[in-house]
Amino acid sequence: MSGLLSVADLHVSFTTRHGTVPALRGVSLSLAAGETLGLVGESGSGKSVTALAVMRLLDRAAQVTGGRITFRGEDITQAGRGIMQPLRGAAMSMIFQNPRAALNPIRPVGLQIADVLRAHRALSAAGARDQALDLLRAVRIREPERRLGAYPHELSGGMCQRVMIAMAISCEPALLIADEPTTGLDVTTQKAVMDLLGEIIAGRGMALLLITHDLGLAAQQCDRIAVMERGEVVEEAPPAALFGAPRHPYTRRLVAASPTPRSEVHTLIGLTPPLAVLAPPPGPPLLEVEGLGKRFGPGTPAVDDVSFRIAPGESLGLVGESGSGKSTIARLVCRLLDPSAGQIRFSGEAIDAFPAARFHGHPRRRDIQLVFQDPGDSLNPRFSACQSIADPLRKLLGLSDPAELRRRATFLAERCGLEGSLLDRFPHQLSGGQRARVGIARAIACEPKLLVLDEPTAALDVSVQAVILNLLDRLRRDTGLGFLFVSHDLNVVRMMCERTVVLQAGRVVETGPSARLFSAPTAPYTAALLAAIPHFNPPAALTPAARA
C-alpha cells in the first residue's frame, strides 16, 4: 500500500551538555490518505518530536540519527529547506497547541490567512482576501467579514484555534498535523473545535495526525491510535481494540489512569476500595459562603451572588469553564482577595470583614490553605523542597529550631509520598508530580481544617494525576480535612467530591450531590458540559447519563 506518510524506525536524539539524549528510539508509523491516526502518550514520550521531525521543524540541537520519513513516496528524512518550504503549508500543515501564541499578535487574522495563501499560490491581495473570507466561513466563525480585520487578542481561544485551522487547511494540504489542538480550551469549545476539524478533514479527504494526551479525544476522532512511551510506539490499534483489550502494560496503565464517568479514585491506580470517609463530627458548617460577589473594575462581576457550604470533612467540587470565576472564589475563600459583596464564615466566625492584605496575621490563616494548579510556579525557585514545606511551620507555628523543622518536613513529605532524599532539591530538579507533592505537603503542614485545591492536577500527566488524586483522597479520609475542589474536569470532581457546584460566568447554575448531578443534571448547562467530555469507552459514551 502506498501510504501518504510513512515513518520507519525513526531515531532522533538531542545534544545537550550532558551528552546525547535519545528522544525517539525507533518510531514507525504510517498514514494513508484521508486517514486519522492518533498519537497518544504522556509528556516526554516523543509525540511532538515525531510531528516536528515529519515537518522538518526540529530544533538545531536535535538530530535524526536513523530511520526514514517518506511523504508521498519521496524520502524527506534529510530534506533541505528548498524541498520542505513548498511542502509546508501546501502539502502538510500543522496546528499548534496554544493558538494565541501561534498567531502573530500584531497582524489581523485575515491577512495572516492571506499570507499563507499567497506564499503558495499566485493570488492578488483581493483574491487572497476573498479566499480567506471563505475559509473563515468554512471554520464557522460568526461574522467572518468583521473577523477578517480582527487581531488575535480580540478573539477567544476557540476562535483563535478556528483561525489556525483555517490557515492550516488554506492550501488543501494532504496531511494535517494537530499537536494538542484543544489543550487549554474549555470542554464545550474543545468539542466544537474537534467536531469542526473532523468534518473538515472528512469533507476534504485530508489525513490527520492527532497528537494528544487525552485518550477520550483520540478515541472519538481516530481510525487508529498509536501509544508512545519514552520514544517508542508501544502499541498501535483501532480505538475499540486498544481500549477494549490493551495489550501492552503501559497502555493498560494509561487506560486505567484516565478518569471515566464510571471510575473511582482507587481504580485509577488499581487499588482496593479504601475505608469510608469518617463521619463528620456534628457542629456548625466548616465554611459558609453567602451571596459572595467580586468585581474587578466596571463591567460584569467575576463572581456574582455565589452561596455554598461545606460541612467538616466534606469535599465540595467547584466546576466551570474558564472565566466562570472558580479560581476567584478559591482566592476569596483563602482570603487572598477581598470580596465586593457577601459573607464568608469559617466555623461560624465571619472572616470576610478582615482585609485580605492583613489576613496573614489572622489566627484563622493556618486553618485555610491552598494547593495550586501549576506545580511549576507554586514553589519558590530559590527554596529547597524542605524550605518550602517548613516555611508555613516557621511563620504560622513559630517553630525555628532547624532540626525540628527538618524532622517535621521529612514527616510531611513522607506522608505525601515524597522520599526524604529529595528534600534538598530545588523545584527545577523535581518532576511535576514531585512538585505537586511538595505543594500538598506545604499546604497540610499546619494541619488546616479546609484545603482549597485550585485545579491541583490540571498540569499533570494522567498517571501522575491518578496517584495525586489518591494521595489527596487518602489524606482526607485520614485527617477529616474539608476540601473545596476546584476543577474543570468533571470526571475528577465526580470522583473526589460528595457534592458539586456548577458555575457559569460567575453564577451558580446547579448544586447537588455529585452522584445525582452527574447522572441526572437538571440545568441544561451541566448537561452540555457532561456531553462535551470525550469518552474512550464507546458503550459508556452511549449511556443515557452521558448523553442527557
Partner 1 sequence: MNATLRHAAWVLRGNPVTLLAGLGTFVLLLLALIGPALLAYDPVASNVPMALQPPSAAHWFGTDQLGRDVFSRVIAATRLDLAIAASAVALSFAFGAMIGAFCGYIGGRLDRWVGRFVDVLMAFPLFVLAMALVAALGNRVENIIYATAIINLPFYIRFARAEVNVRRNLGWVEAARCSGHGPVGVVMRFLLPNILPAMAVQVSLNLGWAILNAAGLSFLGLGVRPPTPEWGIMVAEGARFITSGKWWLVVCPGAALMFAVLCFNLLGDGLRDILDPRLRT
Chain residues in the site for partner 1 (CB under 8 A): 16-17, 331, 334, 336, 357-361, 365-366, 368-370, 372-374, 377-382, 388, 391-392, 395-396, 428, 439, 442-443
In this complex, which beta carbon is closest to partner 1, that of residue 373 or of residue 514?
373
Instruction: Dihedral sign for Cα 333, 339, 345, 351, please.
Output: positive
Tell me if 161 sits within 8 A of 193, measured CB to CB.
yes
Residue 146 Cβ, how far from partner 1 at the closest point, in Å? 33
- What Rg value do the Cα atoms of the chain yield, rounded? 25
Residue 310 Cβ, how far from partner 1 at the closest point, in Å? 18
- Closest C-alpha among 470, 369, 344, 453 to residue 417: 470
In this complex, which beta carbon is closest to partner 1, that of residue 396 or of residue 523?
396
Going by C-beta distance under 8 Å and a sequence separation of 6 or more, which residues neighbour residue 106? 151
Residue 421 Cβ, how far from partner 1 at the closest point, in Å? 17
Q: In whole angstroms, give the CA distance from residue 354 to residue 346.
A: 12
- Closest C-alpha among 459, 477, 468 to residue 416: 468
Residue 56 Ramachandran class (φ > 0 left, ψ -120 to 50 alpha, else beta): left
Residue 366 Cβ, how far from partner 1 at the closest point, in Å? 7
Residue 379 Cβ, how far from partner 1 at the closest point, in Å? 6
In this complex, which beta carbon is closest to partner 1, that of residue 312 or of residue 375?
375
Tell me if 29 sits within 8 A of 5, measured CB to CB.
yes
The C-alpha cell that represents 353 in the structure block? 470583614
Half-sphere exposure of 320 (CA within 13 A, CB side): 25
In this complex, which beta carbon is closest to partner 1, that of residue 260 or of residue 373?
373
In this complex, which beta carbon is closest to partner 1, that of residue 446 or of residue 527?
446
How many beta carbons lie within 10 A of that of residue 203, not counting itself? Answer: 10
Residue 455 Cβ, how far from partner 1 at the closest point, in Å? 11
Residue 140 Cβ, how far from partner 1 at the closest point, in Å? 35
In this complex, which beta carbon is closest to partner 1, that of residue 372 or of residue 518?
372
Q: In whole angstroms, give the CA distance from residue 170 to residue 179.
A: 18
Residue 14 Cβ, how far from partner 1 at the closest point, in Å? 9
In this complex, which beta carbon is closest to partner 1, that of residue 104 or of residue 380?
380
Q: In whole angstroms, give the CA distance from residue 54 to residue 357.
A: 52
Residue 354 Cβ, how far from partner 1 at the closest point, in Å? 13
Please write down the long-range contacts of 65-68, taking CB distance under 8 Å and 24 or more positions apart: 65/11, 65/12, 65/13, 66/9, 66/10, 66/11, 66/26, 67/7, 67/8, 67/9, 67/10, 67/11, 67/26, 67/27, 67/28, 68/6, 68/7, 68/8, 68/9, 68/10
In this complex, which beta carbon is closest to partner 1, that of residue 297 or of residue 539?
297
Strand ordering across the sheet containing 315-319: 368-371, 450-454, 482-487, 315-319, 499-504, 507-513
Residue 486 Cβ, how far from partner 1 at the closest point, in Å? 14
Tell me if 171 sits within 8 A of 121, measured CB to CB.
yes
Question: H or E element: which one contains 478?
Answer: helix 462-479
Q: How far is CA 22 from CA 12, 40, 52, 132, in A?
A: 6, 19, 15, 41
In this complex, which beta carbon is closest to partner 1, that of residue 190 or of residue 378?
378
In this complex, which beta carbon is closest to partner 1, that of residue 134 or of residue 377?
377
